[in-house]
Structure 1
Amino acid sequence: MINYTLKALATSAIVLASVSVAQADVTLRGASMFDEDHSFTQTLREFERLVAEKYDGDVSFDLRLNGELGVESDYVTYLNQGVAVDYTILAPSNMAVFSESIPLMDMPFLFRDLEHWDAVLSSDAFAPLEADLREAAGIVIVGYHGGGVRNLASAEPITSMEELAGHRMRVMGAPIQAQTFDAVGAAPSAIAYNEVYNAIQTGVIAGFENEAASIQNLKFYEVAPHISLTQHTITVRPIVMSAATFDALPADLQDAIVMAGAEAGAFGRALESGADGEILQEMEAAGQIVIHDFEGREQMLELVQPIQDDYAESLGATELLMNVRGM
C-alpha cells in the first residue's frame, strides 16, 4: 500500500512538473512583412514587451521579419490552421476569405478624420465583427493598430475624376474594395501584394493604393512615384492571434495578451498616424515621389455611400455602420 502511494505521489509530481515546465516554456511565433523600422514591427515589439511585463510566467517571442514567412494572405491561413504564426498585424480585407463581414471595418471613406477613427477604435463598436472573425476564421483580435492614410500611388499623375476614369489599379482582395473603386470610375483589380511592384513595372496595372510607410519601406515609389491625395482610407490594422494558440494558453497569459494588445494598439495608432505625413514629406524631399492634390473627393464620397449602405445591409450590419457614422 505504501509503495503504491509513493508511486502515485511520484507520478503526480512528474505530471505537475511537466505542466509547470509547459507553462514556463511558452514561445509565441510572430510575423511581419517589414523591417524593424516599420510601425507594424515596432508595434509588435511593444506588444511583446507588454505581454512579458504583465505575465508572471515565462514567455518568449520569435518574430520573423521582412516577409520571411510569406505575405498577409499566408499569415491568415497559418492563423486559421494554428500553425507557423501565432500573432501578427493584418489588413481586415485580407481576412475576407474566411469572414465576409470583417472588411467593413476597413472600407474606404468610412472615417471622417483621425479623431472619428480613434473614437471608433477606442470603443467596442466592432465587437460584432470580432465575434464573427473568431467564429468563422479562428482568429482573435486583441488590439487595433493603424492610422496610415491611404492614397493613390501611380506611374502617371491622377489628379481628378476624369484622370481616375478607367485607371487600372490594384486593390485588396475583399469585394468591397473593388466595388468602391469601380463606383468612382477606376478599373480595380485584386492582385497579390507581392506582385504589385512587377505588375506596375510591366504595365499590367498603372498604380495601386497604400499608406506612406509601406510605399517607402517596399520602395514602391520606384515604379509609382505619383501620390494623389485622395485620403480615401484611414487604416484599421488589427493585432491578431490564432484562436487555437490563444485558447491553449494559461488564463493569466490570455489576460496579459488582451491588456497588452489594447495598449500596444494605442501605441501603434499614435506612432503611425503621427508619422504618416512626415514620411510623405521625407520621400518628396528625397525626390522619390511627386505629391498631387486630388480634385473631386466630395464627389467620390457621394458615389461611394450607396455602396457602403448596400454592403452593410447584405451583412445585416446596417446598425453597426450607422453607429460608426454617428460617432
Structure 2
Amino acid sequence: MKTVTTIASGAIAAAVLMSSAATAQTALRGASLFDEEHAYTKTLREFERLVGEKYDGEVSFDISLNGELGDESDFVTFLQQGVAIDYAIMAPSNMATFAPSIPLMDMPFLFRDLEHWDTALSSGVMAPLEAELLEKANIRVIGYAGGGVRNLASAEPIGNMDELTGHKMRVMGAPIQAQIFDAINAAPSAIAYNEVYNAIQTGVIAGFENEAASIQNLKFYEVAPNITLTRHAITVRPLVMSESTFSGLPEDLQAAVLEAGAEAGAFGRELESRQDGEKLQEMIDAGQIQVQEFDGRAQLLDLVVPVQDAYAAELGATDLLEAIRAQ
C-alpha cells in the first residue's frame, strides 16, 4: 500500500533517511517563504497529497516553511544545483539569472484580466519558456499556480501620474521589471525581498508592488498602508522541480509528479485568485490599508507596450508575446 508522510521540519531527517533505506522510500524536499496558511504552501501541500494519491509506492515530503532556507533567489540556486530543495513555487523573475527569457511570463501588464491569464496558463503557450528554463537552469516546470493581482503599496498615497513620477519603489530583480516601471515614470530599484519592510521604514524606498496575500502575511501594511489599484500584473507562479531530482525518480513517480503538478497548479490558481479579493477586503475592514483607483490607468497601458515589444524582440520571443496576447 502506498504511504504518504508529511514532515513539518528537518528535525527528524536522519530518521527519514534510515526509514528510506529500509523501505525504498523516496524523500522529496520542498520550501516555501510562507506559513501553512499561505496559498503557495497550501498548493505545495496539495501537490504532495496528489503525488501520494497517484503513485503506487512510498514517498515522503519534508517542507521548510517561513523562508527557513532563504529567499527565492536561494531556492533557485538550490534547485539548479540539485541540493537542499527538490520542489517549490516562485516568481519567474527570480529565475532570470539562469534563464533570461523566463520573466516574460511575469511581465507587468501582460494579461488583460483573470480569464486571459487562466486561459494562457492552461493552453501550453508557455512551452518555449519552460524549455529554456529546463535547458539553462536545470529546473522543470510541473504546474502553474499564482493568481494574485499585483498593485502598488506605498507609505504615501500614489493615485495619478504626477504622484507616480519619481516614486522610489522596489521591484523584482529581472531587468524587465525595472524597465516597465521606469517607462511609467516611477523610480524602480531591485532590492532583496526580505529587506523591503526595513527599506520602507527607513525611507530608502517609498513603496513596492505586490499582491494582497503577501502584504497581509508579512504585515507590509504597517509601513505601506496605501494600496493603489494599478492591477498591473496577475501573478504567474510556476510550481517547479529540480531536474536533477526529477530525472532520478522512477518512471511511475515521474508520471505522478507531472500529473500532480498540473492539477496542483490549477488548484493553486483557483485558490489564490479567490483569496486575493478576500484578503484585500480583510485588510480594508481591519483598517490596515486605504485603497484607491489609479487615475489614468489607460495611459499606463499605452506607455508599457513599446517596452514589452522591445523586450520580446531582444529575447527572440516576439511570436510568443503575440501568442500570449492572442489567447
Query: What band does the TM-score fall into relative to the shorter chain?
Result: over 0.9
- For residue 159 of structure 1, what is the amino acid of its counterpart? G
Q: Deviations over 1:4-24 (max 9, x none)?
A: xxxxxxxxxxxxxxxx95883
Alpha-carbon distance in structure 1 between the residues aligned to 2:143 and 2:323: 20
Q: Does 1:273 align with 2:273?
A: yes
Residue 249 of structure 1 corresponds to 249
Alpha-carbon distance in structure 1 between the residues aligned to 2:25 and 2:280: 43
Alpha-carbon distance in structure 2 between the residues aligned to 1:21 and 1:219: 43
The CA RMSD measured in Å over matched residues stands at 1.0
SS in structure 2 at match of 1:43: helix
Alpha-carbon distance in structure 1 between the residues aligned to 2:189 and 2:138: 28
Residue 56 of structure 2 corresponds to 56
Q: Does 1:87 align with 2:104?
A: no
Residue 4 of structure 2 corresponds to none
Structure 2, unmatched stretches of 5+, are 1-19
TM-score (norm 1): 0.93
Q: Does 1:204 align with 2:183?
A: no
Residue 34 of structure 1 corresponds to 34
Alpha-carbon distance in structure 1 between the residues aligned to 2:91 and 2:317: 19
Alpha-carbon distance in structure 2 between the residues aligned to 1:219 and 1:49: 30
Runs of 4+ in 1 over 4 A off after TM superposition: 20-23
Residue 15 of structure 1 corresponds to none
Q: Is the 8 A contact 1:149 1:211 kept in 2?
A: yes
TM-score (norm 2): 0.93
Q: Is the 8 A contact 1:149 1:235 kept in 2?
A: yes
Report the Cα offset of residue 292 of structure 1: 1.0
Q: Deviations over 1:281-312 (max 9, x none)?
A: 10011011111111111100100000000000
SS in structure 1 at match of 2:141: strand
Change (3 A) 1:22 1:139: farther
Alignment of 1:64-83 (within 5 A): 64-83=64-83
Q: Does 1:155 align with 2:155?
A: yes
- Number of corresponding residues: 308
Alignment of 1:62-141 (within 5 A): 62-141=62-141
Q: Is the 8 A contact 1:23 1:57 kept in 2?
A: no
Report the Cα offset of residue 276 of structure 1: 0.6
Change (3 A) 1:22 1:52: same
- For residue 134 of structure 1, what is the amino acid of its counterpart? L
Residue 44 of structure 2 corresponds to 44
Q: Is the 8 A contact 1:46 1:264 kept in 2?
A: yes
Of 168-177 and 285-294, deviating more is 285-294
Residue 302 of structure 1 corresponds to 302
- For residue 276 of structure 2, what is the amino acid of its counterpart? D
- For residue 31 of structure 1, what is the amino acid of its counterpart? A
Change (3 A) 1:58 1:156: same
Q: Does 1:321 align with 2:321?
A: yes
Alpha-carbon distance in structure 2 between the residues aligned to 1:201 and 1:116: 36
Change (3 A) 1:247 1:208: same
SS in structure 2 at match of 1:275: helix
Q: Deviations over 1:177-234 (max 9, x none)?
A: 0000000000000000000000000000000000000000000000000000000000
- For residue 250 of structure 2, what is the amino acid of its counterpart? P
Larger Rg: 1
Q: Is the 8 A contact 1:23 1:250 kept in 2?
A: no
- For residue 200 of structure 1, what is the amino acid of its counterpart? I
